């Protein structure tokens, strides 16, 4: 998905050239670079990558509209080691906390599998999170009754969309970004 040399296949939310940079084979975003999005859309896939950050970022997937990622896509939280809670590293943001915090302050390996309604998140070789989208049947509500930010039930989300990396004002680096369509 990322060739390690340039931004081929990537764009900003408006479909224009992104302000992210390629540094020593890594994709890097910093303050005011904006989110970066794959030009291609993906449905069922296995996405594997490594990330390193001292702040806040996120991996969006199946995002229908990059101009409204928090309402049209799902995010795996990228953060310095913290948690576990619904907003910590490895969380399916605002939906499901990771089972544990096994992130490091160095490079972290992540694998996200999206197959129809099932989502699985692995970090550093361990399954730490997962969800069945079909259990999210009401707007602004998780299956356990707690609130979330989504105005549309996740069961009604499109099952394909863009992959994106969030700029949240902190230096973040991604590398070895690979995707396998299922």
b vs e for 127-144, b when ≥16 Cβ sit within 10 Å of the residue's Cβ? ebbebebeebeeeeebee
CA 166 to chain centre: 8
The alpha-carbon radius of gyration of the chain (Å, integer) is 15
Q: What is the pLDDT along the chain (182 residues), one digit of tens a residue?
A: 999 999 999 999 999 999 999 999 999 998 889 999 999 999 999 999 999 998 899 999 999 999 999 999 999 999 988 889 999 999 999 999 999 999 999 999 999 999 999 999 999 999 999 999 999 999 999 999 999 999 999 999 999 999 999 998 889 999 999 999 99
Q: What is the 3-state secondary structure (H, E, C) of 29-86?
A: ECCCCCCEEEEEEECCEEEEEEEEECCEEEEEEEECCCCCHHHHCEEEEEECCCCCCC
Can you list the positions of beta strands (E) in 116-170? 118-123, 126-132, 161-165
pLDDT digit string, tens, across residues 18-57? 999 999 999 999 888 999 999 999 999 999 999 999 889 9
Q: What are the residues whose beta carbons fall under 8 Å from the beta carbon of 127, sequence distance 6 or more?
A: 99, 120, 121
Distance CA 108, CA 77 (A): 12
Q: Name the residue among 97, 91, 55, 96 with its Cα closest to residue 76.
A: 91
Cis peptide before 84, with omega less than 30 degrees from 0? yes
User: Which class is 10-181 in CATH?
Assistant: mainly beta
């Amino acid at each position: 998905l990322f060739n390690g040399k340039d931004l081929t296949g990537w764009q900003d939310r408006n479909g224009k050239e992104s302000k992210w940079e390629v540094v020593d084979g890594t994709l890097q975003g910093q303050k005011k670079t904006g989110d970066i999005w794959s030009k291609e859309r993906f449905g069922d896939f296995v996405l594997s990558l490594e990330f390193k950050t001292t702040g806040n970022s996120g991996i969006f997937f199946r995002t229908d509209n990059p101009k409204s990622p928090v309402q049209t896509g799902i995010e795996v939280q990228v953060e310095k080691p913290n948690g576990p809670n619904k907003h910590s590293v490895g969380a399916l943001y605002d939906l499901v906390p990771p089972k544990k915090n096994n992130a490091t302050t160095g490079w972290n390996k992540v694998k996200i599998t999206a197959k129809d309604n099932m989502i699985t998140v692995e970090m550093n070789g361990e399954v730490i999170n997962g969800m069945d989208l079909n259990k999210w049947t009401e707007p602004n509500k998780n299956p356990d009754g707690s609130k979330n930010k989504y105005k549309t039930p996740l069961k009604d989300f499109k099952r394909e969309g863009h992959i994106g990396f969030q700029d949240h004002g902190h230096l973040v680096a991604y590398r070895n970004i690979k995707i396998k369509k299922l």
